[in-house]
Chains A and B, each alone.
Chain A
Amino acid sequence: MHPVDPQGAETDGSKILVEPLSWDRTLFNQFMTVLAFVFLALALLPLLALLFEVLRLGLPNLSLESFTALPAPPPLEGDPPEPNGFGNAIQGTLIMVGLASLISIPAGVLAAIYLSEFAKGSQIAAWSRFATNILSGVPSIVMGVFAYAVIVLSTKTFSAFAGSVALSVLMLPIVVRATEGALNLVPDSLRQGAVALGATKVQTTFLVVVATALPGIVTGVLLAVARAAGETAPLVFTALYTDLWSEGLFSPTASLSVLIFNFYNDPDPNRIQLLWTAALILVGLVLFTSILSRLAIRSPSTQRR
């Protein structure tokens, strides 16, 4: 069916209609289709291989002890096995991600409210939006260097606080973008309705606009939290690592991700065992959040719009 074919044009029209596609074009078409699916398989293979490996090596040693005990010291010969776990890393990750959320979520949501509700098209909004996009592209290790320069160098100690600051800078643009996106989806008629009923801007924003956009905002916040929980680079030289429980916000603090990085070429098999279980917890946490946020997007309250 190629009317421009000179051979086809010479013969009568009915033949053109029944003439099959030339073999080279058919072959090319089928080859490319197969290639596209080979690429798709190739892209998914690492994910499946990685999940398999993490489950295979992480699952057998997963126990309650993993969450409550400290990493066991290298075993001496003849000693009974000591409890082996990464409770300190769980504690540290929770502290740092929690504090980073406390800093970045309110700041990010308020900034997004300004961008979406009060300053559409203004110069400040343009700058701010540009800065948000650029900030989300800044490598996470640079956030770590920033926190090192501002906090570690001035307090003269590696600390959970420095790690939290690095993570909050990392989370900020993600929260802003997701919240602004969610707020933009709220129809203007809702805002007009609220104003017509005599609501102030504060009331309109929080009771109507933010309330309507809440599923979208929660999704974005969850993704930011998951991203921060998995980050290693900003923590390696800000929060550092310790085999012990955290001694407070201004002392070196363990985290799941840095534990994996510090243990990965350790000769002690106990530690290798431990880091795979930690990897399982980390991957499980991040995938669970991703799936949860995907479900939140699909929830009926967002589909009504």
Chain B
Amino acid sequence: MAQGVAPLPQQVLGTGRSLRRRVDQAFIVVTGLFALLIVAVLLTIAAQLAYQAWPAVQAFGLSFLTSATWDVIDSKFGVLAIAYGTLVSSLLALLLAVPVSIGVALALTEDFLPAVVRTPLAFLVELLAAVPSVVYGLWGVNVLVPLLFPLMEWLNLKFGWIPLFSTPPQGPGMLPAAVVLSIMILPTIAAISRDVLSVLPTEFRSASMALGGTRWETIFRVLLPAGASGILGGVMLGLGRALGETMAVTMVIGNAPQISPSLLDPAQTIASLLATQFGEASEPLHVGALMYAALVLFGLTLLVNMIAELLVRTIQLERT
């Protein structure tokens, strides 16, 4: 009997086992390499942008950030006016999108509606995020801009003394761009806010209502303060998306690199600058300046997304 049993462990656990262990270890190493690949890709993007931007960095230094002239013919490049357009269009979009997104999130989490109605509505809001940017641009050019034009004319006519509306509208401009952007970032902010609100403990609601709070008093005094950091994280993610949004903005903003207080004037963003000029840039300094601008955009979104990441992560920690 001992003779029959002895060879068996040798075969099953002996050479075969060490081979299988080696395969297992190799597998772990390979998957680990792919996990590190993501870090490598991110670092390579940063390094490549910096490397390609180097001629422009040498030529303009930090004055690139403070000069508002973008002159392709004379090879004088400064990103200030374009960075201004990027920041103002994004912040304006936030101003429009944040109240609406939070309203949407509340309407879809607090029990206003039966789940049968709520789920499809929430899905429709999510679909807003799925529509390609270029289609938003197409719709913006053909529907939204003509729709907003009378409003813009009216604003200029009645409120022209306010610098914000001081120039006659030309159709494309800062305001239509901000409206399109706000539509595009709305689902991001609404989705995160909805997640945040739906993980708040039911006890918060019960306690507030037991103390006599109405539904909206509960929302304003308990739920929104309790979810504030998570909602802010969602807002930052929305901001990150708005800063980098390209096609739709390019099609409706008018692409004029200028700093104008008027929201009815055309403007330009870094992303739209890249989209319109990269294809035909041949001068090394022009390409370098575009790379420099891309680096600025990369740095800006990196900063915003890191803040968002930290804010959203605190929520995930609380959830577990």
In the complex, residue of chain A having the shortest beta-carbon distance to the beta carbon of B250: A261
B96-127 interface bits toward A, Cβ cutoff 8 Å, 1 = contact, 0 = none: 00011101101110001000000001011111
Complex CA distance for A16 and B207, rounded to whole angstroms: 19
**B residues 123-182 with Cβ under 8 Å of A?**
123-128, 130-139, 141-143
Q: Kindly specify which of A70-78, A80-88, A140-148 makes contact with the partner chain.
A: A140-148
Q: Is B183 part of the binding interface, using a Cβ–Cβ cutoff of 8 Å? A: yes
Which of A111-128 touch B at CB < 8 Å?
111, 113-115, 117-119, 124-125, 127-128
Contact partners of B240 in chain A: CB under 8 A: 137
Give the contacts of B212-271 with A (CB-CB under 8 A). Answer: 212, 214-217, 219, 237, 240-241, 243-247, 250-251, 271
Q: How far is the CA of A68 from the CA of B156 in the complex (A)?
A: 48
Q: Does B298 make an interface contact (CB < 8 A)?
A: yes
Residues of B within 8 A of A201 (CB): 24, 27-28
Q: A40 with B108: in contact, given A141-B244, A153-B52 (CB under 8 Å)?
A: yes
Give the docked Cα–Cα distance between A65 and B263 (Å). 43
Q: Which of B279-294 contact A (CB under 8 A)?
A: 279, 290-291, 294
Which residues of the partner chain B approach A148 to less than 8 Å between Cβ atoms?
278
How far does the Cβ of B199 sit from chain A's closest Cβ, in whole Å? Answer: 16
List of B residues within 8 angstroms of A38 by Cβ? 103
Q: Which of A118, A229, A286 contacts B32 (CB 8 A)?
A: A118
How far apart sit A227 and B131, CA to CA, in the bound complex (Å)?
9
Residue among A50, A119, A138, A200 making CB contact with B298, cutoff 8 Å: A138
User: Which residues of chain B come closer than 8 Å to A42, judged between CB atoms?
Assistant: 100
Interface residues of B (CB under 8 A from A): 20-21, 23-24, 27-28, 30-32, 34-39, 41-42, 44-45, 48-49, 51-52, 99-101, 103-104, 106-108, 112, 121, 123-128, 130-139, 141-143, 183, 186, 190, 212, 214-217, 219, 237, 240-241, 243-247, 250-251, 271, 274-275, 278-279, 290-291, 294, 297-298, 301-302, 304-306, 308-309
Given contacts A110-B31, A118-B28, A131-B42, contact A200 B36 (CB under 8 A): no
- Supply 26 A–B pairs (Cβ within 8 Å), ascending by A: A1-B212, A29-B217, A33-B112, A40-B121, A44-B125, A114-B34, A115-B35, A118-B31, A128-B39, A134-B302, A137-B240, A137-B241, A137-B309, A139-B298, A141-B297, A144-B274, A144-B278, A145-B274, A200-B23, A232-B246, A233-B275, A264-B138, A286-B132, A287-B127, A287-B131, A290-B127
Q: Is the CB of B133 within 8 A of A146?
A: no
Distance of B26 from chain A, by nearest CB (Å): 9
The answer to the question of A240 belonging to the interface, with a C-beta cut-off of 8 Å to chain B, is yes
User: Would A111 and B34 count as touching, CB distance under 8 A?
Assistant: yes
Q: How far is the CA of A282 from the CA of B130 in the complex (A)?
A: 11
- Say whether B294 contacts A145, CB under 8 Å: yes
Cβ contacts under 8 Å, A142 to chain B: 45, 49, 244, 294, 297-298, 301
Residue from A42, A117, A131, A158 whose CB has the most chain B CB atoms within 10 Å: A131
Collect the chain A residues with CB atoms within 8 Å of residue B128's CB: 43-44, 46-47
User: What residues of chain A lie closer than 8 Å to B278, measured between beta carbons?
Assistant: 144-145, 148, 236-237
Quote the shortest CB–CB distance from B138 to chain A (angstroms): 6
Central interface residue in B48, B107, B108, B132, by most chain A CB within 10 Å: B132
In angstroms, how far is the closest chain B Cβ from the Cβ of A123?
Answer: 11
A39 touches B103 (CB 8 A): yes
Looking across the interface, which residue of chain B has its beta carbon closest to that of A139?
B244
Interface residues of A: mostly helix, strand, loop or mixed? helix
Q: Let me know if B135 and A260 touch, CB within 8 A.
A: yes
In the complex, what's the smallest C-beta–C-beta distance from A230 to chain B, in angstroms? 3
Chain A residues 227 to 257 lying within 8 A of chain B, measured CB to CB, are: 227, 229-233, 236-237, 240, 257
B186–A43 CB distance below 8 A: yes
Chain B residue with the shortest CB-CB distance to A113 = B31
Which residues of the partner chain B approach A149 to less than 8 Å between Cβ atoms?
48-49, 51-52, 291
In the complex where A50-B131, A118-B32 touch, is A131 in contact with B38 (Cβ < 8 A)?
yes
**Closest-CB distance, A233 to chain B (whole angstroms):** 4
Give the distance in Å from the alpha carbon of A211 to the alpha carbon of B123 in the complex. Answer: 27
Q: A289–B121 Cα gap in the complex (Å)? A: 18
Using A47-B128, A125-B35 as known contacts, say yes or no to A36 and B106 having CB atoms under 8 A apart. Answer: yes
A111 / chain B contacts, CB cutoff of 8 Å: 31, 34-35, 37-38
A32 to B216, Cβ gap below 8 A? yes
Q: Chain B residues with Cβ under 8 A from A124's Cβ? A: 32, 35-36
How many angstroms between the C-alpha atoms of A230 and B219 in the bound complex? 37
Which of A35, A141, A226 is in CB contact (< 8 Å) with B271? A141
C-alpha gap A113/B34 in the complex (Å): 9
Contact B216 A28 (CB under 8 A): yes
Contact, CB under 8 Å: B183 / A46:
yes
Q: Tell me the residues in window 167-184 of chain A with beta carbons closer than 8 Å to chain B beta carbons.
A: 169, 172-173, 176
> Smallest CB–CB gap between B303 and chain A, Å?
10
Question: With A and B bound together, what is the CA distance between A282 and B135 in angstroms?
Answer: 8
Whether B216 contacts A110 by the Cβ 8 Å rule is no
A146 touches B45 (CB 8 A): yes
Task: Decide if B214 touches A264 in the complex (CB within 8 Å).
Answer: no
Minimum distance in angstroms from A131 CB to a CB of chain B? 4
Q: What chain A residues lie within 8 Å of B52 (beta carbons)?
A: 149, 153
* B100 pairs with A286, CB closer than 8 A: no
Contact B279 A240 (CB under 8 A): yes
Contacting pair A137 B132 (CB below 8 A) = no
